[in-house]
Structure 1
Amino acid sequence: MPRWRASLHRAAPALGLFAAARLTGMLVLALWAWHVGRSPRALLARSWDSLWYTGIAANGYGRTLFWPGGVVQSDLAFFPLYPGLVRAVTAVLPVTGGTAGLLLSWLAAGAAAWGIYLVAERLCGRPTAVVTVLLWGLLPHSVVLSMAYTEPLMTAFAAWALYALLTRRWLWAGGLAALAGLSRPNGIAIAAAVLAAAALALWRARGRVAWPVWAGAAVAPAGWLSYLLWVGARRGDLLGGYFAVQDGWTSRFDFGRGALIFVRDMLRGPTQFGFAMALVITAAGVLLFALLVVVERPPLPVVVYTGVLVLITVGGSGFFESKPRFLLPAFPLLLPLAGAMTRARPGAAIVVITGLAGLSFCYAPYALTLARMAL
C-alpha cells in the first residue's frame, strides 16, 4: 500500500469523527437559520471577512472603506492565495464566488484534519491523534472551518509543513510554509518553525547540512514576505506599507497592551457573551501552551509554530472577539488535553466531548445570527 494511502487509512476514524462533528454543527446552524428566517448558505459564504475575500476574487484589490473615527479598511489587509483560488474555481466551475469559497474551505478543512492527525500521531500516538482531530472540529469557533474563511487553508498548509519537518522533508516543508504565508498574516508562524528547525540542524551538524535544508529555509518565508513587499510597493512604503494598512483596521502588535486595556474596560461593566468567550479561550490557549511545552515536550518546530501563533494572538490589539479564530491554526495546543482524555476513564472523556460539542453547536448560531460583533 502506498504511504499516502496507508496514512489515510490510519486517519480514517479521526476524519470520520471530524466530518460528523462539522456536519452536525452545520445542521444545527441550518435549522436555527431557517427558524429565524436566514439563509444557512449566506451565513457561511457571505459573513464578515467572506465578503472581502469574494470581492477580491471577483474584482481584484482596490476597495477601501472609510469610517467615522479614522478607521480605514482596505482590502490590502487580506492575503491573496485564498481569493486567487476562489477566482480559479469560478473560472472552471459554474458557481458563484461564495460557493467556490465554501468548497475550498471544506476541502482544506479535511486536508488540515488529515495533517493534524499525522502530526499528532507521530508525536503522541494514534489514540491521542484521533482525539486531537475530534477536539479541533468541536472548538467553539470551529464553525469558521465550515465558512468561506482562510483558517482551514492556512491550517492545512501549516499542518502538512510541520509533518514534513518532522519527517525531514525540507523542500516540502519550505514550499508548504510559503503557501501558508500567502494565506494569512499569521502564516509567518510556520515559516518561523522551518527556520528554527533549520537553525537547529545547522547547529547540531556544525554547519554541514545538505542543500535541501538551506533551500527549505530560504523558501519558507517567501510567500509572506512577497505579499508584504508588494503591498509596501503599492503604498509607497516598502517595509511599512502593509503594517499601515493593518493600522487602519486598528490592528497592530503592541505586546498585549491594547488587549489588556480592552479586558480592563470589559471587566468594569456589562459585556457581550462573545467578548467573554474570547477572553476565556485566549486564556485557555496560554495555559495549554504552557502545558504543551512542560508536559508534552514536543520538538522545536512544533513549539515555535504554536508559540508564534499564541504570541501574535495575545500580543495583537484590535478585534478582541476574533482572537479565538486566530488560535484555530494552533492545533498543537490540543495535545495536552487530548492526551489527558485518552488516559482518563471513557466516561470522563465522553462528558468532556459532549459538553464541548454542545457549546460548539450552540455558539455557531449565536456568533452568526445574534452576536453584534465580527467573528
Structure 2
Amino acid sequence: MTDPESPAVTPPAGALRRAAPALLGYAAVRALGLAVLAVWSAADGTSAHRLLSERWDSLWYTRVAALGYGYEVRLPDGDVHSNLAFFPLLPWLERFGHAVSPLSYADAGLLVAALASLAAAWGIFAVADLVHGRRAGVCAVLVWAVVPIGVVQSMAYSESLFTALAAWSLYAVLRDRWLTAGLLAVFAGLTRPVGIAVVAALWVAAITSFVGERRHGGSTAGTYGAHAWRRALAMIIAPLGAAGYVLWVGHRTGRGPFGYLDVQAGWRNGFDGGYAFGRFVAEKFTSFPSALAGAALAAGVVLILWLYVTGVRQGQPPALLVYTGIVVALALCASSYFGSKPRLLMPAFPLLFPLARALARLRPSRSALVLGGLAAASAVYGAFWLNGSGPP
C-alpha cells in the first residue's frame, strides 16, 4: 500500500534532495561509529583499518580479487574451506578499484563498502518513502544505521553492496521498472547466495501484476504488451547472476548443480530448517550465565518474527514480504556460524519499517534523542565487537 504522501516520479536531483536528511544522518552515524572504533582500537593496540579490511571474510574476498578462485584451506578435522563459497561481484569491484587507482585490494574493498553503504541507505529511504512516507523513510535509514552490528556496513564485506542492489531492485519493482529491477537482481545474485530473495520478490510481483492486469482488462493493447514483455524479460534475466555462478562452480568442481552445496558443506554450512540453531539456543539454558544469552537469542528471534508479522499487518507490498521472508529464513535456518546470523539479517531492511513508522510518529526531538542514544550504543558495541570476536 503506497502512502498518499509518497513522492511522484522525480528527477535524480530532486530525489537526492528529498533523501538528503536520511543520507546526512546516515553518514553522521557511520562517522561516529568509525571514530569510536579508531579510538578503541588505538587504546587496545590494534589497527582499526586492519579490522575493517583485512580480517575474517574480507581476507577471502581480497584473495579472490588478487589471485582468483582456487584457494582453499584444509583444516585438521577434515573440513575444506574453499574461496568458491564467496560470490564474485565484490572481488571484481576490488580488482577494478585496484587496477584504476593506487588503492590496494583491501582499500578498494573499503571504498566499495563506503559507496555501497550510502547507495543502500538511499535505496532503503526510497523504498520506505514510497511505501510509508518521507519521515518514515528517514527513520528507516537511521534505524538501519544504528543496528548493533552496523559497523559491518563500513567493512570490506558484501552486506552493504548486496543491500544496495536489493533495495534499488525492489524500488524498481514497486515502480514497475521491470528491466531495471531485473538487471539489479542479476548483480545481487552475483553478490551473495541470498540474491535468490530478490529474484523471488521480482517474480512474485511480476506474476501478481500480470494476473491483476488480465483480471481487470489491462490498459490499452500497446501499453499492456509493452509491460508484459518487460516483465517477462525481467523474470528471465533476474536469476542469471546467481544461477550462472552456481553452475560455474558446479562445472569447476565437477559436481554439476550440487557443486556449490558441496563447497558450503566444506564450511559446515547448510540449510536444516533451523534445527541446529534451535539446538544451539536450547543448549544455552543448561547453565545460569549462558541462560541469559539464550534468553536474549530467543527474544531476538521473537522480535524478528513480530516485526515481520507487523509488516504484513501494515500492508507492506508482497515483493517486500517475500524478499524479507526469504532473507530471514535463510539466515535463521542455516546450520552453522551462529554468530554471523545478525550480519546475515542486515539486508532484511523492511523488518525495520514498523520501528521507523513508530519513530516517525514521535516529535522530532524525541525521535532524535532515541536515535542518538542508539547510535552511541551501536558505536561502542561495534568497537567492542571488532576488537573481540568480530563477525564470522
TM range (shorter): over 0.9
Alignment match of 1:170 (pick from 161, 173, 178): 178
Alignment match of 2:251 (pick from 207, 230, 233): 233
Deviation, structure 1 residue 303: 0.8
* Paired residues of 1:79 and 1:185 also in contact (CA < 8 A): yes
Aligned to 1:17: 25
* Paired residues of 1:161 and 1:190 also in contact (CA < 8 A): yes
Aligned to 1:252: 270
Aligned to 2:331: 313
Alignment match of 2:55 (pick from 47, 70, 75): 47
Aligned to 2:316: 298
Count the aligned residue pairs: 373
Q: Using a 3 Å threshold, how does the CA distance of structure 1 residues 32 and 307 change in structure 2: closer, same or farther?
A: same
Corresponding residue SS for 2:273: coil
Q: Using a 3 Å threshold, how does the CA distance of structure 1 residues 153 and 88 change in structure 2: closer, same or farther?
A: same
* Paired residues of 1:274 and 1:321 also in contact (CA < 8 A): no
Q: Give CA-to-partner distance per residue, 1:101-148, whole Å, 9 cap, x none.
A: 000000000011111111100000000000100111111111011000
Runs of 4+ in 1 over 6 A off after TM superposition: 272-277
Distance in structure 2 (CA, Å) of the matches to 1:275 and 1:92: 48
Deviation, structure 1 residue 286: 2.1
TM-score normalised over the length of structure 1:
0.95
| 1:191 lines up with 2:199 in the alignment | yes
| 1:132 lines up with 2:140 in the alignment | yes
Alignment match of 1:222 (pick from 240, 246, 260): 240
* Paired residues of 2:281 and 2:297 also in contact (CA < 8 A): no
What is the correspondence of 1:263-342 to structure 2 with a 5 Å cutoff?
263-269=281-287, 270-271=289-290, 280-294=299-313, 296-342=314-360
Q: Give CA-to-partner distance per residue, 1:313-341, whole Å, 9 cap, x none.
A: 12111011111111111111110001011
Amino acid across the alignment from 1:7: A
Deviation, structure 1 residue 71: 2.4
Alignment match of 1:86 (pick from 70, 78, 94): 94
Q: Using a 3 Å threshold, how does the CA distance of structure 1 residues 2 and 288 change in structure 2: closer, same or farther?
A: closer
Distance in structure 1 (CA, Å) of the matches to 2:284 and 2:73: 27
Amino acid across the alignment from 1:224: A
Distance in structure 2 (CA, Å) of the matches to 1:78 and 1:272: 34
Alignment match of 2:124 (pick from 108, 112, 116): 116
* Paired residues of 2:273 and 2:333 also in contact (CA < 8 A): yes
TM-score normalised over the length of structure 2:
0.91
Distance in structure 2 (CA, Å) of the matches to 1:276 and 1:102: 35
Cα RMSD for the two superposed structures: 2.0
Deviation, structure 1 residue 278: 5.7
Aligned to 1:101: 109
Distance in structure 2 (CA, Å) of the matches to 1:33 and 1:246: 33
Q: Using a 3 Å threshold, how does the CA distance of structure 1 residues 274 and 14 change in structure 2: closer, same or farther?
A: farther
Deviation, structure 1 residue 68: 2.9
List runs of 5+ in structure 2 lacking aligned partners. Answer: 1-8, 216-223
| 1:64 lines up with 2:72 in the alignment | yes
Q: Give CA-to-partner distance per residue, 1:59-92, whole Å, 9 cap, x none.
A: 0011111223332211110000100110011011
Alignment match of 2:42 (pick from 26, 34, 46): 34
Distance in structure 1 (CA, Å) of the matches to 2:272 and 2:91: 29
Q: Give CA-to-partner distance per residue, 1:41-70, whole Å, 9 cap, x none.
A: 111111210000001000001111122333
Amino acid across the alignment from 2:268: T
* Paired residues of 2:343 and 2:391 also in contact (CA < 8 A): no
Amino acid across the alignment from 1:24: L
Identity of aligned pairs, percent?
Answer: 44
Amino acid across the alignment from 1:284: L
Aligned to 1:361: 379
Amino acid across the alignment from 2:267: W
| 1:181 lines up with 2:189 in the alignment | yes
Distance in structure 1 (CA, Å) of the matches to 2:351 and 2:305: 9
Q: Which moved more, 1:264-273 or 1:28-37?
A: 264-273
Distance in structure 1 (CA, Å) of the matches to 2:282 and 2:76: 24
Q: Using a 3 Å threshold, how does the CA distance of structure 1 residues 357 and 21 change in structure 2: closer, same or farther?
A: same
Distance in structure 2 (CA, Å) of the matches to 1:43 and 1:273: 28
Alignment match of 2:16 (pick from 8, 30, 49): 8
Distance in structure 2 (CA, Å) of the matches to 1:64 and 1:8: 43
Q: Which moved more, 1:118-127 or 1:207-216?
A: 207-216
| 1:242 lines up with 2:260 in the alignment | yes
Distance in structure 2 (CA, Å) of the matches to 1:278 and 1:363: 17
Deviation, structure 1 residue 366: 1.9
Q: Which moved more, 1:249-258 or 1:360-369?
A: 360-369
Bigger radius of gyration:
2
Corresponding residue SS for 1:73: strand
| 1:343 lines up with 2:343 in the alignment | no
